[in-house]
Amino acid sequence: MYGYAGKILRVNLTTGNIAAEPLAEEMARDYIGGRGFAANILYREIPPGADPLSPENKVVVAAGPLSGLFLPGSGKITFASKSPATGGYGDSNMGGHMASELKFAGYDAIIIEGAAQKPSYLYIDDDEVEIRDASKYWGKGAMISERMILDDLSEDFRVATIGPAGENLVKYACVSHDFGRQSG
């Protein structure tokens, strides 16, 4: 399949289980990537009537098939979930380096499910994927947290964060990336 990394990363925050699943060729053909992948996954996997702020809800982070190419506007990443603001499907996308880096790490999408017991972040370095403690970044604000994580890891990483609005479950909170790009 041209344009695809061929894997979807599934992360269960409740159990701590992390698994790479093959991207079905049928899904790639029928839903193309990004928003299409996200809408299809959420439609199939979130039970009707699920509370958007419950562990039954999921967040899908997905790159399109052109991500990673040197084409203007191709580096968009989609964040999608059942919206806490409306109770319906919600997605947003943003530019920056996230989509390309997700593809370079070998994944077309990430499915995040369950609920963590403490502040956590997802660390991805190609095939090394871990759920890590984010307590020291909690309450700092999205851009300060991004700087702290980069200082702790390396400037070679790409970081998406939430700030106090997301931490306090504000229904219209955003995800921040690249010191000023937002999705939400």
* Position 96 in a domain: yes
Does residue 1 have a pLDDT over 80? no
* Position 156 in a domain: no
Closest CA to 137 of 118, 156, 117, 114: 118
* Position 43 in a domain: yes
The 7-12 sheet, strands edge to edge: 18-22, 7-12, 109-113, 58-63, 77-82, 89-94
Question: If you compute the radius of gyration of the chain from its CA atoms, what whole number of angstroms results?
Answer: 15
**What contacts 126, CB < 8 A, 6 or more positions away?**
105, 106
* Position 184 in a domain: no
* Position 33 in a domain: yes
Check residues 73 and 106 and name the one with the higher pLDDT. 106
* Position 89 in a domain: yes
Does residue 26 have a pLDDT over 80? yes
Does residue 12 have a pLDDT over 90? yes
What residues make up the domain containing 37?
A: 7-132
* Position 170 in a domain: no
* Position 35 in a domain: yes
CATH number at residue 48: 3.60.9.10
Per the structure, how many domains does the chain have? 1
pLDDT of residue 13: 98
Give the tens place of pLDDT for each residue, 58-105.
999 999 889 988 888 888 999 999 999 999 999 999 999 999 999 999
Whole-model pTM: value is: 0.95
Does residue 17 have a pLDDT over 80? yes
Q: What is the chain's mean pLDDT, rounded? A: 95
**What contacts 94, CB < 8 A, 6 or more positions away?**
76, 77, 79, 175, 177, 181, 182, 183
